[in-house]
Structure 1
Amino acid sequence: MNKIRLLLFVGFGLLYLSLGQGRRSSLIVQAEKPNDKAALSTLKSLPTTIGEAQIRARILHETIHGALQVIHRDFFQEDESRVIPSHSLEDVFKELNRAHGVKIRWLAVNAKAMNIDNEPKTEFEKMSVKELSVGKASYEQVIDDQFHYTGKIRLPSQCLKCHLPMRRDNRDRVAGLVISMPVKSHGKAE
């Protein structure tokens, strides 16, 4: 249990830094509806440039990917665990969306989606699947003052027992982690 606490402490510390909490405003507490553009546009923790959004998305991706791998390795036991690690992290995703307007979700790429919600829905997500399927590490795009980033998540063999039960080769399989966050006026600092 101490390992879990340490892992969560380190992971959330990195998330805290990556989301620009040094500039946190009390307005974050007021923005309970992350889809309220007026509330989000006044948050001081919004990335001011596309470059800043790219850095934040990459740090979030690496933090979540690393946490997922460690939780799987150290705590997930196939016959004993009640919840799979990727599903447990969805609570973290909900809080990041509520508090910061950062939307995160899993994306099926070249293995079976265990949850229909992980199928690609938008054109950006469909393009992400194509790019990750051919070996790219990530794909990103800005659409309407929203920075969208998809990074690959390696699926280890214990994941493939369910995601690809009838596999006939040892090719690497991946999923995607979609991270979307608002940016201020397409990369122009205000």
Structure 2
Amino acid sequence: MVSHPKDPRAIRTKKSLQSACLTLIEEKGFDQISVRDLATRAGINRSTFYQHYPDKWDLLEQMMDTHLQGMIDTVKPISLRPAKKYIHEPNPSFVRIFSYIQEHADFYQTMLGKKGIPLFHHRLVKRVSQTILEEMNKNKQKKSQMLVHQPLVLQYITSAHLGLVIYWLEQGMPYSPHEMAHQMTLLTFCGPINAMTLNPKEI
């Protein structure tokens, strides 16, 4: 019998299984994990596991879907329009994204780490790219008037943003979400070359 999704015990069990899954991925990689491993680490029996998930892949899918959607919901509305104020303060959408990732750091550090899930990285790139494209399409400037082709701009921004997030996680998040958001803001709106030499006092 499957437990009701809002049952507090079911919620606790799912959280335990998700935590166990992340720990085991770190230890030996997802492919080497069995349902028995997950149940044992979560302190439940296998029959209880099957009350919540048909297999370990469904557990992984639900974890990925939840966090991807949570991240996208958090970052919206996103603005990529240049503004002079962003020299002195971070883009609010960037603050939200770094804050969300810090709050769920265990998940993102594991999933994007050395023993992480390549499928998650692929889906993350796709969702971020789609979100950025939606914002770019709000700009009424014609594609023919752009100095750089839109697909190249999209690829550049997506890769740069995710690369910065992954680096931050790999380094143990040495900077606060606010500081990281401001740094990403400067890199995004000023460009990496200008960001190295920009003096805010002269603006």
Give the TM-score normalised by the residue count of structure 2: 0.34
Answer 1 or 2: which has greater strand percent.
Answer: 1
Give the TM-score normalised by the residue count of structure 1: 0.35
Answer 1 or 2: which has greater helix percent.
Answer: 2
